[in-house]
Amino acid sequence: MKIKGNNVLITGGASGLGKIMGRMSLERGAAHLFIWDLNEANIAATIEDFKAAGFDAERIRGYRVDVTDVENIERCYGEIKAGYGQVDILINCAGVCTNNKVFAEQSIRDIDLTMDINAKGSMYTALTVLKDMMPRNSGHICNIASEAGILSIPKMSLYVASKWAVIGWSDSLRIEFAKAKSKVRVTTAVPYFINTGLFEGVRSPLIPILKPEPTARKILNAIERDRSYRGIPFSYHFSRMTETVLPTWLFDWFFGTVCGVYTCMDHFKGRPKQNEHIRNTADKK
């Protein structure tokens, strides 16, 4: 689905990859850009940045939304419908990676937080938007997964689990629409680690950390070309193929030792302030 002339909603749209895709959506002629984020200060700063870049303020709207709160999602979506009409393109980009602990040291709070935001939040938002997309037989949903969703990575088990869930759900959704001969489209974006701050401290000696601008551009191109999958970089396809072909010990040696994937989280820092803000918000429920 072409972005030009259509309304675009991006969760997690006030920072990192989501913010970049928002700016690029405006550049490509989106009728309106709806920014959903948990951080009000980031929303305000993002809107000011876009206005300073010359974009019409009337095309940009920001909403403080907790994607783990169904009532919050439905209320804000209702405001969008009442004021601006349908959402044509939904990009589920809200995500969190809380720590680099082994699973046995994880807290129930961080388990719930990671699964609720990364997996269930995308499902809740899609379910709400689909109530309008399906009757009009038009729309596009892009779910931002991760190459972590096809690999097993030590000290990242929560994030990995959440992204495995996103990939399985997202592609199942695509197949359901295809079987129903629906014109609603689904794109599953599967990027490697991106240099946006979410993975600050991650080390990847062989596979390069992705630059955010080209990654955002490739994802938007995939939406406009109705691509079902978009692995970034091409090694995504190699990862999937080799895991099914190689013996486990050989796969572990190659990706774990040679590529350094199994030690990539050893020096992880992430976004501690943002993660604490998210935890505090969850604790207030």
Active site residues: 159
Which residues contact residue 188 at a Cβ distance below 8 angstroms, ignoring those fewer than 6 apart? 142, 143, 145, 166, 167, 170, 171, 174, 228, 229, 230
Structure tokens belonging to residue 97? 């990676």
Output the CA torsion sign for 104, 170, 189, 87: negative
Q: Judge contact between 13 and 35, C-beta under 8 A.
A: yes
Q: Judge contact between 213 and 284, C-beta under 8 A.
A: no
**Whole-number Cα distances in Å, 272 to 57, 117, 224, 261, 279:** 31, 16, 34, 22, 10
